[in-house]
Structure formats: structure tokens, C-alpha cells
């Protein structure tokens, strides 16, 4: 059975990784549009439900709290991420597993918590924050697990787009390049300069998380109903594929 939502902007939303720079910007934009929105993040806070989204039990508990606060989520934005560094000999197996669990397995666990409600509603939006490293394969700056997990999000999103198309549910990814986030600012200043110099217009600096959030939120609305299985590259021209 399906039901009609008379106020599209009032659809409940959950932002996974909502305590980070990108996640907070998405939460703010969704809230400004009138969405009841809840953030989940391993770092809890006054407006953030503390949740290790790599842990199956914690995800169940976290989403139960989300439903209690705002109802059944019809918008899922997954922006959780943990990076690594070096090559395959530098990242030990425990680090490899942890990064894949946080970046990729958590997306699978979160989808399982929302898909039934979206199906019942006959409407749903899923947006996954991947990375430009998932496009070109990454480097020692990201490490192999980060690049692999972000590439995996692209494939998971496409699988969901096909699998859920007849249910009125879309699934897309955004693949950001350098953005003004803690993951960017911890890099050496000279390295940041060299990275920006490799892309067109790099002298304008890294991307703004608020601008990236605008693209993500667009994919969460009715106007994006015909966009599914897509990857939107937001990288200043670093990757054109």
C-alpha cells in the first residue's frame, strides 16, 4: 500500500555521518527546506544521535531512535567516511577491515533499515557520498581501503537503483574531490597546493561543503525523480570520466 505526502519537503530524513563537515551542511539544508531530519554519527552531540554505523546492533538502535524522533525516513544520505594512507603493505588487515566497515558496509546496513518504509510509501531517495578516489583508484594519500570502499559505494548505489526502480526509490552517488573539510586541512600545505594545481581553476581553492550539500539535497527531491544510478562528480575538474 502506498500513501501520498501532501508536503514533499516534510519527508523525514536521516543523514549518516551527520556530524562531519559535509553531513552538517546537508542537515542544515534539509532542515531549511522543512524536512524533519536527524543526524547519526560516531561522534554524538546535542543534535546528533551517537551511532557507530559499522556495527549492526548500533545501526538498529540508532534507526529506532530516528523513527521515534521523526518517523519513517524517506530520505537517506550516507556521508560516513574514514580514510587511510599508504599502499597495501602499509595498511594492515585490521585497518583495511575497519575502513571498509565504516565506509561501505555501513551503507548496506543503513539501507536495510529504511528500504521497507520507502517501499511502503512508494517513494524514497538515497544518496551516497563517495569520492573522486573511487573514480580514479586513489593513491597513497587515501590508501587502498578508502579508494576501494568509495568505489564500492558507486556499485552498491547502481545495484539499488536497478533493484528499487519500480518502487519509486532513486539511488545516486556524489563523488567529491578536494573540499574544505578536516580531511583536507590536515594535509601538508605544500601538498594541498600541488593537488589544486593539477586541476583546472585550482587557484580558487577547494570546494565548499555547503555547495556540495546543495547538489546532494537536489538529488533528495522530486525534481531529481529521473536521476538514478548516477554519479555526480563534484571535483573542480580533477576527474573527468
Q: How do the domains of the chain map onto residue ranges?
A: 8-234
User: What are 206-229's pLDDT values in tens digits?
Assistant: 678 888 999 999 999 999 999 999
User: What's the pTM value of the predicted model, to 2 decimals?
Assistant: 0.89
Q: Is 108 a catalytic residue?
A: no
Per-position DSSP letters for 35-100, written without gaps between them: --EEEEESS-BTTEEE--TTSHHHHHHHHHHHHHHH-S-SEEEE-------S-TTTS-HHHHHHHH
Q: Of residues 138, 146, 152, 206, which has the active-site annotation?
A: 146
Angle at which helix 106-121 crosses helix 56-70, to 10 degrees, equals: 40
If you search the block for the grid coordinates 554505523, which residue do you land on? 53
* CATH number for region 8-234: 3.40.50.720
Residue-wise pLDDT tens digits, 170-201:
999 999 987 556 665 565 566 556 666 566 66
Which grid cell is 118?
Answer: 520507502
Condensed to tens digits (0 to 9), the pLDDT of residues 77-111 reads 999 998 887 899 899 999 999 999 999 999 999 99
Find the angle CA(218)-CA(128)-CA(181) to the nearest 5 degrees.
85
Amino acid at each position: 500500500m502506498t500513501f501520498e505526502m501532501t508536503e514533499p519537503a516534510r519527508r523525514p530524513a536521516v543523514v549518516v555521518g551527520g556530524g562531519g563537515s559535509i553531513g552538517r551542511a546537508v542537515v542544515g539544508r534539509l532542515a531549511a527546506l522543512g524536512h524533519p531530519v536527524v543526524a547519526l554519527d560516531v561522534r554524538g552531540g546535542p543534535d546528533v544521535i551517537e551511532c557507530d554505523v559499522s556495527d549492526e546492533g548500533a545501526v538498529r538502535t540508532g534507526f529506532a531512535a530516528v523513527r521515534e524522533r521523526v518517523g519513517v525516513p524517506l530520505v537517506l544520505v550516507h556521508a560516513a567516511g574514514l580514510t587511510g594512507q599508504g599502499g597495501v603493505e602499509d595498511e594492515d588487515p585490521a585497518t583495511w577491515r575497519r575502513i571498509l566497515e565504516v565506509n561501505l558496509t555501513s551503507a548496506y546496513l543503513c539501507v536495510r533499515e529504511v528500504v521497507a518504509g520507502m517501499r511502503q510509501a512508494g517513494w524514497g531517495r538515497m544518496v551516497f557520498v563517495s569520492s573522486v578516489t573511487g573514480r580514479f583508484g586513489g593513491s597513497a594519500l587515501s590508501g587502498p581501503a578508502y579508494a576501494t570502499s568509495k568505489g564500492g559505494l558507486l556499485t552498491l548505489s547502481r545495484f539499488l537503483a536497478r533493484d528499487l526502480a519500480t518502487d519509486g526509490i532513486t539511488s545516486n552517488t556524489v563523488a567529491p574531490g578536494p573540499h574544505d573539510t578536516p580531511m583536507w586541512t590536515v594535509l601538508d600545505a605544500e601538498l594541498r597546493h600541488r593537488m589544486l594545481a593539477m586541476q583546472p581553476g585550482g587557484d580558487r581553492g577547494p570546494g565548499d561543503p555547503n555547495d556540495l550539500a546543495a547538489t546532494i539535497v537536489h538529488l533528495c527531491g522530486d525534481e531529481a525523480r529521473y536521476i538514478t544510478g548516477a554519479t555526480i562528480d563534484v571535483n573542480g575538474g580533477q576527474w573527468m570520466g
